Amino acid sequence: MAAPTSELQAQKHSGKGEGETVGIALLGFGTVGAEVFRLLGENADAFAHRIGGPAEIRGIAIQNKNKLRPGVPQELLTDDAKALVARDDIDLVVEVIGGIDFPRELVLAALNSGKSVVTANKALVAAHADELAEAADRAGVDLYFEAAVAAAIPVVGMLRRSLAGDQVERISGIVNGTTNFILDAMESTGASYDEALAEATRLGYAEADPTADVEGHDAASKAAIMASLGFHTRVKFEDVHCEGITKVTAADIAAANDAGFSIKLLAICERLQREDGSEAVNARVHPTLVPKEHPLASVSESYNAIFVEAEAAGSLMFYGNGAGGNPTASAVLGDVVGAARNIVHGGRAPGENTYANLPIADFGEVETRYHIDMEVQDRTGVLAAISTAFANNGVSLRTVRQEDGEDTARLIVVTHAAKEATLDKIVADLSELDEVKAVHSVIRLGS
């Protein structure tokens, strides 16, 4: 009665059967890969019980076969990842290589040949989610990526499963440990950005080339993943407005501190109501002023925290180590258990579901409050001129603080909510005023 494809699907969904061994290919053997290998070996009994059958790493793809790896049987190692993925005795592929193009090829090959995939690769997922999800759906297999966002903090599982019956309104989080370490160091020691970055590098919190972290790209990948899951709408890396922390100065941090704020690099995913009543979504990453009494303000060092607001659940916060070999391995192994259970018992995890397909709002549509720090002439009438520039654009001021300097004064204003597009216009107008010497910084308020 059934067509061959349906039979294949049914077979897959009904599983290999209790007690059968799940064959695993491990792609990559860096810090995370080595921890996955170690923990899966050391706790083999526990994993067999939790899965319903043994999980066996049958091959490890590495670049350099000649590098010494104590404790790893030589016969497991191969430098031919494609051949490993294609092997008949592999049921599940664990990708912890990093990069985009090569892992994309391997993950697609695995999914297309009916193998489930667990990946920790945020860049890959954020760039190619559609293609990967389609391949997984076509083959009826699982694609898991809990480790791609905030390591063992179960953000992906929460958005995909726990909040599956709710409507997510907003996600805001500290999802990059390197930048949080740098900003925290600047705040607690008064150091400059360059000094704090040097310290982060020295302590191993920043990589030799810190670009992906400090420019916000890493956080933007995570924002894309969280927004896609939370809003059931595909949000890609290139849809995320992204500003890093390289322009944050010690003066910004000090001014924020005086006003009762900490500066944090937040990934913000938001459902917006447009004027015509329709909905859109936006995802962005930028330095943000967080009130000191907000839980996100007290997230120190390289910790991560994610704040979720949902219609019925209200506010939820999740906090923990968002990076590192062990926490990432924990997330990967949680996914391995889930995927392997389905291979043994049948069934599929809830996949990504982008049915809502909401439009992505341009950054200019986003409404927020602003903290603007400028240098102005020290004479009467200046405040009137500046207030007028704001008023002409329909934006009112919430607080104004003036500090007198030698020849010029420093003026710090906090606005009421205004759209990004309006703010751009105001900054342009301010720059044209004779009264304004320089606009030093514009930092958004939020949480």
Annotated binding site: 27-34, 122, 207
Site for its own copies in 109-128 (CB under 8 A): none
Q: Is 291 one of the binding residues for its own copies (CB under 8 A)?
A: no
Return the residue of 108, 123, 310, 389 that touches its own copies, per CB under 8 A: 310
Binding residues for L-homoserine: 207
C-alpha atoms less than 13 angstroms from C-alpha of 256 in its C-beta half-sphere:
31
Nearest CB to its own copies, comparing residues 343 and 386: 343
Residue from the set 314, 379, 380, 404 that interacts with its own copies by CB under 8 A: 314
Q: Which residues pair with 143 in a beta bridge?
A: 117
- The catalytically annotated residue of 12, 16, 222, 419 is 222
Q: Give the binding-site size for its own copies (rule: CB under 8 A).
A: 62
Nearest residue to 282 via CA among 243, 319, 324, 228: 228
Map the footprint of its own copies across residues 210-249, applying CB under 8 A.
Answer: 232
Virtual CA dihedral for 15, 19, 23, 28, nearest 10 degrees?
A: 110
Binds its own copies by CB under 8 A, chosen from 184, 252, 335, 435: 335
**Binding site for NADP(+), residues?**
27-34
Please tell me the number of Cα atoms within 13 Å of 68 on its side-chain side.
1
Of the candidate residues 24, 33, 35, 218, the single one contacting its own copies (CB under 8 A)? 35
Contact status: 10 vs its own copies (CB under 8 A): yes
What's the Cα-to-Cα distance from 351 to each of 117, 167, 191, 319, rounded to whole Å?
12, 17, 45, 25
Q: Within 343-382, which residues bind its own copies (CB under 8 A)? A: 345-348, 350, 353, 355-356
| 67: annotated active-site residue | no
Q: Does 435 bind its own copies (CB under 8 A)?
A: no
Query: What token pair was written down for 419?
Result: 């759209």
- 375 and 436 Cβ atoms separated by less than 8 Å: yes
3 CB neighbour count, 10 Å cutoff: 8
Element (DSSP H or E) covering residue 271? strand 261-273
| Amino acid in position 26 | L
What residues line the site for its own copies (CB under 8 A)? 10, 13-15, 35, 39, 43, 46-47, 49-50, 146, 151-154, 157-158, 161-167, 232, 295, 310-321, 324, 326-327, 329-338, 341-342, 345-348, 350, 353, 355-356
